[in-house]
Structure 1
Amino acid sequence: MATEQSALQCASCGGLCHFSPVERALECLSCGATYDLGQPDDYLARDEFAHREDQPDTADLLAPAKQAHQCRNCGGEVVFTGPALSESCPYCNGPVVLVSGDSSYNTMALIPFRVDAPFAQRLAQEWIDARMCAPKDLKDVVAQGVVAGLYAPFWTFDSDEAVEYWASYVTYRNNKIRTRNTKGKIDVMFDDLLMPASPHVSPLIRDGILHDFDPADLRPYRAGYLAGFAAERHHQSVAEGLAANADDKDLLIRNHIKDDVNKNGVHSVRYLTDTTGIHYRRILLPVWILHYTYRKQAYRIVVSGIDGRTFGERPFSYWKMALFSGAVTACAMALGIVWGAETAF
């Protein structure tokens, strides 16, 4: 991630450049000149790499970053490329300190930001405006927040799973409930399974970008794409990445088994799987994160840097919830009275 400032200097005026999501190019902060980062071989960013358990992936290891910013609260470590520096952690908004970074792995590809900060700020505000039962002053509180741009580390995994399973399901006959046992074999293929590559990538961040991912949008890693943004480097080996995401993969396999059984009340699922054909990518994906505090409680709103999909956390107004609940109850009672009156005649 570390790059000399001279690599980001404008060829026209010598000013410093940053990546502009609007121009989708490197843009000089002084004269406005733009530089296209695209190359004819950009399609190579879609390439995947085979994983073999008997061959450690140490060839991809990079030297420690000379300057990294580590959060005192969550421990997240990010680096800045180019002009953007911050005194706050993009993950949790905690204070950061300058440290010597840990060794990391080479980033293979990324999807550049397509949504800029003002638009992300507006989307976060619109998301809050659309929330039902929100406190009256919440809109003004969120308006004070500022979005932070972050390239978050992710994996893509491919694998072929030969699954043998055993499960139970429920049947209903003559008002009696019976449990039946079954077993079977299925083949499950995972293609571009998108997984977090850091414990700091929360479910909120993952869900905020999960539906936007398209391998065709990947570009080879170039420092210019990161100019003006924070990024967390990859610190997991492939084996560690597979282990960290084992629970998510387990859930998906269990869902495939339940679909294959295709009965009511499937439970007590057990299975064995033979995993082959593992391929992977280490990638960076763009997110905007807006932090705000309401009544001493911290919240986040996440905006995908790819297409603006917005997810978030927010408080509720209890009196508004009570009024809404009362209104729903009143409507239900009114409908019941009308229906009863009609059936009486």
Structure 2
Amino acid sequence: MAVAQTDLLCTSCGGQCAYAPETQKLTCASCGTAHDIVDEAGDPTEEFHYHPGLPHTEQRFVAPETLHSCETCGGGVVFTGAALSERCAYCDGPVVRGSADQRFQALGLIPFQVTAEDAQARARAWIAGRLAAPSNLGAIVAQGRVAGIYVPFFTFDSHEAIDYWAKYRTGGKNSVTRTVKGKMKIAFDDLLAPASPHITPLIRDGILHDFRPATLRPFTPAYLAGFAAEHHHLSVSDGLASLADDKALLIRNRIQRKHGSKRLFNIGYKTHTSGIHYRRILLPAWILHYTYNGTPKRVVVCGLHGRTFGERPFSRAKLAAYAAALSMLAIVTGWLWGAAGFL
């Protein structure tokens, strides 16, 4: 991820350039001149074969001296060009310069397409739309600032040959429990899995939607200028292990759909996995941190399309008021129903 700082200087005035999501160009902070980014060579959609029964090696690289480590969560990030944040994008903790470190190399990325201003507005709008939110929550969130980070992910393909079994109940008065068995094949394509232990479900779910591999670009450090980026920390086998629960849910859903109206339960299966291919990529996310009553919380805005997820507190007084209103509505509805002669 190293890049010479001279490569990020404006050719017009010599000022420092940063990547601008609104134009997808390097823009000079001094004179505003926009410079086209020339993608580096390589096919970012290329996938690499992995066989769990054979020794596996892949390219490692030594991180540059601009590696920073978070003192709070231990996250390791790099800043390309002028660092826009001195705090960790994941947890908002302080970051300090670290030593050179070995990590796995990302070969593709999707650049930020949502600006910081738009992400800030989306995060505030998401908070404003929450029911039973404390009255002062909007003002507290307004004091926060979004931090942009390129988050490391895998994409995985695989072929699954599945033997399954399950139980279901027949309908009618004399319902009985029966067993169903079967075989099926599933081809998974571009399943996303985190490549860092610092990617929480909130961050992952904020990015998963609408990911399109066709929009991947070759890894080019200029896209990182002015942003943080985390290295890939996990091996391919670690990435596959982190995907196990998601795959199990998808397989069970496919088995259920195959049998349509039958409500299966006690679903079990064995699967033979083959044809595993993977990529290492970086995806963009904006993260807004705020603290409410001493508890840190986050709102995540996907840098691809602006989809927003977050953590929020509730107002106990408003929850009690809503519950009372619903109870009163139920009482009035029942009274009107009875008064109309339906009871």
TM interval, shorter chain, is over 0.9
Counting only pairs closer than 5 Å after superposition, residues 1-345 of structure 1 correspond to structure 2 as 1-39=1-39, 44-53=43-52, 56-174=55-173, 177-344=175-342
Structure 1 distance, partners of 2:179, 2:210, is 39
Give the alignment's TM-score, normalised by structure 1: 0.94
Code of the residue aligned with 1:258 in structure 2: it is Q
Maintained 8 Å contact 1:57/1:237: no
How many residues get paired?
343
Question: What are the superposed Cα offsets for residues 216-236 of structure 1, whole Å, 9 maximum, x if unpaired?
Answer: 211110000000000111122
Structure 2 distance, partners of 1:160, 1:188, is 6
Structure 2 distance, partners of 1:202, 1:14, is 39
Code of the residue aligned with 1:126 in structure 2: it is A
Code of the residue aligned with 1:29 in structure 2: it is A
Aligned-residue identity in percent: 52
* Segment of structure 1 superposing worse, 130-139 or 100-109: 100-109
Structure 1 distance, partners of 2:86, 2:62, is 24
Structure 2 distance, partners of 1:155, 1:240, is 10
Maintained 8 Å contact 1:197/1:236: yes
Structure 1 distance, partners of 2:131, 2:36, is 43
Structure 2 distance, partners of 1:84, 1:53, is 39
Structure 2 distance, partners of 1:343, 1:50, is 71
Question: What SS does the corresponding residue of 2:155 show, helix, strand or coil?
Answer: strand
Code of the residue aligned with 1:4 in structure 2: it is A
Distance 1:270 1:10, change over 3 A: same
Maintained 8 Å contact 2:39/2:220: no
* Segment of structure 1 superposing worse, 231-240 or 259-268: 259-268
Q: Note the aligned Cα RMSD (angstroms).
A: 1.9
Maintained 8 Å contact 2:39/2:217: no
Question: What are the superposed Cα offsets for residues 6-44 of structure 1, whole Å, 9 maximum, x if unpaired?
Answer: 1211122221111001111111111111111255978x3
Structure 2 distance, partners of 1:340, 1:189, is 57
Unpaired runs of at least 5, structure 2: none
Question: What are the superposed Cα offsets for residues 73-131 of structure 1, whole Å, 9 maximum, x if unpaired?
Answer: 21111111111243211111112221114311111111100111111111111111111
Maintained 8 Å contact 1:26/1:224: yes
Distance 1:221 1:39, change over 3 A: closer
